[in-house]
Amino acid sequence: MCDEDGREAHAHLPVLADEVTFLLRPRRRGWVVDGTVGMGGHTERLLEASDDAVRVLGLDADPEALRRAGRRLARFGDRVVLSHGSFRRLAELAAAAGVDEAASILLDLGLSSYQLDESGRGFSFQGDEALDMRFDPSAGPTAADLLNRLPQEELARIIFEYGEERHARRIARRIADGRRRAALARTPDLVAAVRDAVPRAAWPRRRHVATRTFQAIRMAVNDEAQALMETLPQAAALLARGGRFGVISFHSGEDRIVKRSFRSLQHEGSYVELDPSPVEPAADEIHDNPRARSAKLRVLERREAA
């Protein structure tokens, strides 16, 4: 998966694949739970590196991504079980699949290249698409619904909190003013609002001026921060003794949530974070796969004995 800058999302390359494989590959038989299976890249690498007795339960809220992962992973046969659903239902979906404990669990919080380039749901500001942004296109309000209905103050909070956009108030005001004339329906409508709101001198040099706003609205549409907070304790509880739980984040707010949760779990005495600093991509990976540049991987291990 990748960060939100669609210009570089062309290859189906799993981010931090070598690090994930090294740190999360089960050393013996057991289940791996890939809570964001996406295009199946991490799952493929983990299965290739593991004993045939290792199986993967792959979850994803996006039904089309799940279908594509199924095609990619078909050669592994019954070693792969795919299930449609958000990782916030991790405990429920694992139980339904007969997984009572996991040797490894992975969450990759980025977008897949399919979602950015091919889904047509408005995740990217590069094209002209409907403002949908739902991972599961059958559930919940769309980005257009939020942009056209939420109070200006709430939009400003979302854009500032989830996008860390310092011009959030100006952008929210421009959205509110614009929707009085015509509803925002397509991605160029949101891009235009951001462009009009942010002073030209303040446009970032290395990323699109609308990147942070698109990220923020997508996170709000999919309730991503709350879903992550609900999932972290479920994943920790599902880990077998000696098992490891890795989270790849692309947003500093998400990384803070993971860091706080892992530190809290460590205080309980049954878990330990492998390193207090997150694993980040090496320079050669960023060169080959620029979308990896903001990725951070944290790994929690459940102790062999309480």
- So what's the pLDDT on residue 42? 96
Percent residues over pLDDT 70 in the chain:
96
pTM of the full structure? 0.91
Query: What's the Rg (C-alpha) of the chain?
Result: 19
Looking up tokens 């809570």, which residue turns up?
A: 35
State whether the Cα torsion 23-12-81-76 is positive or negative: negative
**Kindly report the CA angle at 294 between 46 and 4, in degrees rounded to 5?**
95
**pLDDT band, very low/low/confident/very high, at 220 (cuts 50, 70, 90):** very high
**pLDDT band, very low/low/confident/very high, at 245 (cuts 50, 70, 90):** very high
- So what's the pLDDT on residue 1? 58
**pLDDT band, very low/low/confident/very high, at 5 (cuts 50, 70, 90):** very low
The per-residue pLDDT of the chain, averaged, comes to 92
Tell me the domains of the chain and their CATH numbers. 6-114+224-302 (3.40.50.150), 136-221 (1.10.150.170)
User: Is 24:16 a contact under the CB 8 Å cutoff?
Assistant: no
Residues 292-304: pLDDT tens digits?
888 999 999 999 8
Please tell me the distance from the alpha carbon of residue 127 to that of residue 137, in angstroms, as a whole number: 19
Does residue 167 surpass a pLDDT of 70? Answer: yes
- So what's the pLDDT on residue 8? 34
Does residue 12 surpass a pLDDT of 80? Answer: no
In 3-state terms, what secondary structure has residue 126? coil
Residues 176-204: pLDDT tens digits?
999 999 999 999 999 999 999 999 999 99
- So what's the pLDDT on residue 9? 35
Residues 67-83: pLDDT tens digits?
999 999 999 999 999 99
